[in-house]
A and B are shown apart, each in its own frame.
Chain A
Amino acid sequence: MKTLESVLIKHPFFENLDKPYLELVTGCAKNVKFEAGQFICQHDDEANQFYIIRHGKVALEICPPGKAPVTVQTVSEGEILGWAWLVPPYRWHLDAHAIELTRAIALDGQCLRKKCEEDKNLGYELLKRLLPAIGRSMEATRLQLLDIYGARD
């Protein structure tokens, strides 16, 4: 557990998190590893994990029927994967697979939710960290929507 805690506190997402909270979070954590090409989650699967990426790169894909899958975002070292674990009905919205060997810490969604319910301050602390990440990804999506590099005439 000691090593997980020290890894978590070094990750930008948990930067400066108070020790008691960190201990609570660590209680839900385990190390995971994905080989290149391995799926981490698939659309509509139950979203029970919140991944803290330590190393590697993960592609978030949408696969339209009859077409090749399209990668819409990649997340890598220092970033996070997943927020569906916090929002009912707790289902993944995208497919994600590792592009290269990826190491992460998986936080159990159910466990985290339970601890957040018990300690609303922890819940608020996590939300304050999660929301900017979601916001950035939304802003990035808006920019992608503009297709600014596309042929303009």
Chain B
Amino acid sequence: MENFSPTDPMIPRSYRVKRKIRESHDTFTLDLQPDNLEEKTNFAPGQFNMLYTFGVGEVPISISGPMKESGHILHTIRGVGNVTQALNNLKIGQKVGLRGPFGNAWPIEEAKGKDVIIMAGGIGLAPLRPAVYSLFSQRQQYGDIALLYGSRKQEDLLFHKEFETWRGKYGIQVKVTVDTGDRSWKGNVGVVTTLVPRVSFDPSNCIAMICGPEVMMRFSALELTHAGLTEDKIFITMERNMKCAVGFCGHCQFGPAFICKDGPVFRYDQIKPFISTREF
């Protein structure tokens, strides 16, 4: 009894788990395919979908790929809540409800002709991965590209198998750091902000895209401004409670903006005053 209404933004569409990729001990990627094979799975890097599991609920999940092929769509998820755990329990072929894609995109166009700094913390690399792919697809349009990635421990690092290709094939600077390391970790230990002085970029002609916990983004933006970037060249993503994703429910309001439709990507100078206000 398929009866999905394409026009009602509150009605989930039917998707199925095509593939499941374990990314780390608590994070996995669901590759989803629409039941309706006519359906377009296009999205812009930075956008998110609302994923529903039967009887449990719905959560916003950022889209982590792919960029070129269509007909399927990747979501990288950390299994920490009820719904995300339920998503983790899904088997290949099982159904999920999907609404989206929602939200705005990373400033891929604006970054053309400039150096690009991508700063990610933890699962924050997931919504940035499509941005990275977009830059690669027109690599010659951009100057130096640097990815600065921080996570809690070595075993939490996402997509690290791709880093060598990113370095080698696309010539980007990839710097990784963890908050604490053991003897098997030969990389950097320290917060992600410490990586900024270790990459080369022209602060007067550079765009930065940051995604991670809010505190991490605040300090990262601060570090980048120390390095000479102006706040209007820094873009971050915001997270707030979200129920509808289309601007009706009011939950994700953040001062002048609705994170679901005006964000999740914001220019730092435009929201900094509100980020700096406690409990806003």
A contact residues vs B (CB 8 Å cutoff): 12, 57, 59-60, 68-74, 76, 78, 99-100, 136, 139-140, 143-144, 146-153
Residue contacts A-B, CB under 8 angstroms, 7 given? A68-B183, A70-B182, A143-B193, A144-B191, A148-B121, A148-B215, A153-B81
Report the separation of the CA atoms of residues A77 and B136 in the bound assembly, to the nearest whole angstrom: 29
Give the contacts of B151-204 with A (CB-CB under 8 A): 151-152, 156, 177, 179-183, 185-191, 193-194, 197-198
Q: Kindly list chain A residues whose C-beta atoms are within 8 Å of the C-beta of B12.
A: none
Report the separation of the CA atoms of residues A78 and B198 in the bound assembly, to the nearest whole angstrom: 9
Interface of A is mostly: mixed
A151 touches B26 (CB 8 A): yes
B contact residues vs A (CB 8 Å cutoff): 26, 80-81, 121-123, 150-152, 156, 177, 179-183, 185-191, 193-194, 197-198, 212-213, 215-216, 219
Asked whether A72 and B189 contact (CB < 8 A) given A146-B215, A149-B122, A151-B80, the answer is yes
Report the separation of the CA atoms of residues A139 and B194 in the bound assembly, to the nearest whole angstrom: 10
How distant is A67 from chain B, measured CB to nearest CB, in Å?
A: 10
Report the separation of the CA atoms of residues A59 and B81 in the bound assembly, to the nearest whole angstrom: 35
B181 touches A71 (CB 8 A): yes
How distant is A143 from chain B, measured CB to nearest CB, in Å?
A: 5
The 4 closest A-B pairs by CB, nearest first: A149-B122, A71-B181, A149-B152, A148-B213
Contacts beyond the supplied A144-B190, A146-B215: 11 A-B pairs with Cβ under 8 Å: A76-B198, A78-B197, A100-B186, A139-B219, A144-B191, A148-B122, A148-B212, A149-B121, A149-B156, A149-B212, A151-B80
A68 touches B182 (CB 8 A): yes
Report the separation of the CA atoms of residues A18 and B47 in the bound assembly, to the nearest whole angstrom: 52
A152 touches B180 (CB 8 A): no
Q: Kindly list chain A residues whose C-beta atoms are within 8 Å of the C-beta of B194.
A: 136, 140
Which residue of the partner chain, among B26, B123, B180, B219, contacts A143 with CB atoms under 8 Å? B219
How distant is A138 from chain B, measured CB to nearest CB, in Å?
A: 12
Q: Kindly list chain A residues whose C-beta atoms are within 8 Å of the C-beta of B198.
A: 76, 78
Q: Kindly list chain A residues whose C-beta atoms are within 8 Å of the C-beta of B122.
A: 148-149
B189 touches A73 (CB 8 A): yes
Q: Kindly list chain B residues whose C-beta atoms are within 8 Å of the C-beta of A153.
A: 80-81
Report the separation of the CA atoms of residues A65 and B212 in the bound assembly, to the nearest whole angstrom: 34
Asked whether A71 and B180 contact (CB < 8 A) given A140-B194, A151-B26, the answer is yes
A72 touches B188 (CB 8 A): no
How distant is A87 from chain B, measured CB to nearest CB, in Å?
A: 22
B186 touches A73 (CB 8 A): no
How distant is B217 from chain A, measured CB to nearest CB, in Å?
A: 10
Q: Kindly list chain B residues whose C-beta atoms are within 8 Å of the C-beta of A69.
A: 182-183
How distant is B278 from chain A, measured CB to nearest CB, in Å?
A: 15
Q: Kindly list chain B residues whose C-beta atoms are within 8 Å of the C-beta of A139.
A: 219
How distant is A129 from chain B, measured CB to nearest CB, in Å?
A: 15
Q: Kindly list chain A residues whose C-beta atoms are within 8 Å of the C-beta of B193.
A: 140, 143
